[in-house]
Amino acid sequence: MNSGSYNPHRTAGAGIDDEVRRLEAQAALTAEAEIAFMQRVGVPGQRLVEVGCGPGAFLTRLARHFPEHDVRGVEIRPDLLDRARARGCQVVQGDAYALPLPDDSYGTVVLRFVLQHLSDPLAAVREAARVLQPGGRLVVIDV
């Protein structure tokens, strides 16, 4: 995700704290509907990962709604990774183009508002597919 358009320090205008508040507000506004959709279509496997989890606003909600799953996140930006960890999220630093995850290791991979920021979204989708278990589900939420 290092060659994309997202920069949390300039997105909200006033800095990282404002961007984290914006992401939290966005998750509060839309997460219930997004998670309800995921529940309707099914969340296979025992492991779920959100790629580009940012400060963990959506990831914490995923963990709460899917307690039977091992819910993890991947985030490239250290400042956002620290925020996610401070919320108690299980996260690792990594890039959407080269996920630090084994092949066939997750039943569900979530890309939420990530692809729009990438210079090569198809490469990120291919990488997400690499870590999906057979019969797994790739959930893309984007504009």
Query: Which residues fall within 8 angstroms of residue 80, CB to CB, at 6 or more apart?
Result: 8, 20, 53, 54, 55
Q: Each residue of 83-113: pLDDT tens digit? A: 999 999 999 999 999 999 999 999 999 999 9
Which amino acid type is present at position 140?
V
Q: Each residue of 123-139: pLDDT tens digit? A: 999 999 999 999 999 99
What pLDDT shows up at residue 101? 98
Query: Which residues fall within 8 angstroms of residue 1, CB to CB, at 6 or more apart?
Result: 52, 76, 95, 96, 97, 114, 117, 118, 124
Q: Each residue of 22-50: pLDDT tens digit? A: 999 999 999 999 999 999 999 999 999 99
Number of C-beta neighbours around residue 61 at 10 A: 18
